[in-house]
A and B are shown apart, each in its own frame.
Chain A
Amino acid sequence: MQHQIEFGPSFAWLKVQLAPNEVIQAEAGAMVRQTPGLQMDTRLNASRNAGFFAKLKAFFAAMARKIFGGETMFVNDFHGPQGGEVVLAPGLSGHIMHQVLDGTRTLFIQSSAYLASTGSVDTKLRFGGIKTLLGGEGLVLQECSGTGDVWVNSYGGITEVPINGTFVVDTGHIVAFDGDVNFKVKGVSGGLKSFFLSGEGLVCEFSGQGRVWIQSRNLSALVGWVTPFLR
């Protein structure tokens, strides 16, 4: 499988050339264009399991992802006997990042950042602790594990930050981080007073060793700016 990320950082899209019978999984609605030889299968956004109870479980898992994770309830698999090309794009303006998972590392991504994946990559919903439910700035994460490629999208440009010690990021600016980095969600200077007065909302404090990817724009900030103009 070959892929190119074009038109970044403002309007990036992902172009993928699939070999015969190679499969790429993408979030619902991401398809821009595809060659006619590719087939699209739609299924619940949960692990591929057989059996009635497994399917029922998958249904609730997919629903939970939609409600809490800001993800789509369904995903599409693209594949074809002769292969072909498919182009995928997220809804917001921004960039796309590619990561390879080898089965030994995991990647945490901000819940709406998932664009596509291959192989046995699976995502699990993770909450960043009770504090994240405060103030509507919630940090809901997906933990990606397995073996294969994963592509995540951002709102704005993406900066990779190596963590060695501690590092603080506004929760609205997190795209992803390595699974072995420790993280703690808190008010910007600890107390509730600063949470309400600093205008920074919640931040995430990372520690240990690994990488964090941050985005240059914050969707909540855009919403906060647009809202007073609505009539």
Chain B
Amino acid sequence: MEFQVLYRPAHSLAICNLEPNETVRAEAGAMVSMTRNINVAAAAKNPNEGGVKSLFKGLKRMALGGESFFTNTYTAMGQPGHVSLAPSLTGDMVVHHLQGEQLIIQGSSYVAAPDSVSIDTQFQGFKGFFSGESLFFLTASGHGPVLMNAFGAIETIDINGEMIVDTGHIVAFTAGIQYSVVKASKGWISSFLSGEGLVLRMQGQGRMYVQSRNPNEYGTAVGALLPPRDN
């Protein structure tokens, strides 16, 4: 199977072409259209495990990953077919081809992957807790393409060394890169006043995907002008 991304970067749409009896898993709500022979199953499960364990995995993903609990599976029955997928925000989509390495994906950036890729929530501990910017990561591992979406355009950058990245702009990075959550400047007060708060210090060698807009910043800019909600 393969993903083809059209209408980049603002209003990207991904076409997923499936061979007979191939399956793609996608976030609930992402489906735009599909051929008639596609069988849809709503499942909170990872095909590599069964029963109770996969149920807990689904719950964990919802609680920690900021993701929808349900993942839909789309299977082309008997003959080739396709599914088209779109995220809710305007922005680009990118495909990372996993070849056995791990890819760490910011929770809301994951869109779809085939069964050969397994998705799990990486426990972030205090790293995620302090960031306050819904910094929850999913870990994709295995072989095959992973489809991700972004708010804005996506920059693909290979690093070997160190880079500081704003928490609201990270999309994904390969596991050869270690990250730590650090203050944007030396002191807590100036970190807060700088508007940057906490940032990610990325260290190591690997590929990183960065988005050109921060959803929280956009929400804050527009939200500040909206009338207050009456409760």
Size bin of chain B's contact surface? 35 or more
CB pair B196–A76 under 8 Å, yes or no, is yes
Question: If the complex has contacts A32-B212, A42-B193, A76-B194, are A10 and B226 also in contact, measured as CB distance less than 8 A?
Answer: no
- The answer to the question of B49 belonging to the interface, with a C-beta cut-off of 8 Å to chain A, is no
Interface size class of A (residues with CB under 8 A): 35 or more
Q: Which residues of B contact A220 (CB under 8 A)?
A: 225
* Cross-chain contact A91 with B221 (CB below 8 angstroms): yes
| Interface status of B45 (Cβ within 8 A of chain A) | no
Q: Which residues does chain B contribute within 8 Å of A230, judged by CB atoms? A: 226-227, 229
Contacts of A7 on B, CB cut-off 8 Å? 9, 152-153, 155, 212
Contact A6 B153 (CB under 8 A): yes
Could you tell me if B214 and A33 are in contact, using CB atoms closer than 8 angstroms?
Answer: no
- A42–B9 touching, CB < 8 Å: no
Q: List chain A residues, Cβ under 8 A from B212.
A: 6-7, 11-13, 32, 89
Q: Is the CB of A219 within 8 A of B210?
A: no
Q: How many cross-chain pairs have Cβ atoms below 8 Å apart between A and B?
A: 115
Residue interface bits A218-231, CB-to-B below 8 A is 1, else 0 = 01101100110011
In the complex, residue of chain A having the shortest beta-carbon distance to the beta carbon of B191: A42
The stretch that binds A, out of B31-39, B56-64, B70-78, B160-168, is: B160-168
Contact B213–A29 (Cβ < 8 Å): no
Q: Are B91 and A34 in contact (CB under 8 A)?
A: no
CA distance A31 to B191 in the complex (A): 12
For residue A28, CB closer than 8 A to chain B, the reply is yes
B residues in contact with A226, CB < 8 Å:
222, 226
List B residues 198-231 near A (Cβ within 8 Å): 199, 201, 210, 212-214, 217-218, 220-222, 225-227, 229
A25-68, CB < 8 A from B = 27-36, 40-42
Q: Is the CB of B194 within 8 A of A40?
A: yes
Are the CB atoms of A36 and B201 closer together than 8 Å? Answer: yes
Q: A36-B201, A93-B213, A93-B218 are known contacts; what are 16 more A-B pairs with Cβ within 8 Å?
A: A7-B153, A10-B90, A11-B153, A13-B212, A31-B184, A32-B165, A34-B163, A34-B164, A36-B162, A42-B193, A76-B195, A76-B196, A89-B152, A223-B222, A223-B226, A230-B229
Contact surface of A with B, Cβ cutoff 8 Å: 6-7, 10-13, 27-36, 40-42, 72-74, 76, 87, 89, 91-93, 219-220, 222-223, 226-227, 230-231
- Chain B interfacial positions (CB closer than 8 Å to A): 9-10, 90-92, 152-153, 155, 161-166, 169, 184-185, 190, 193-196, 199, 201, 210, 212-214, 217-218, 220-222, 225-227, 229
A sample of 17 inter-chain contacts (CB < 8 A) reads A6-B212, A11-B152, A12-B212, A27-B195, A28-B195, A29-B217, A32-B214, A33-B163, A35-B164, A36-B163, A42-B194, A74-B195, A89-B214, A91-B214, A91-B218, A222-B222, A226-B222
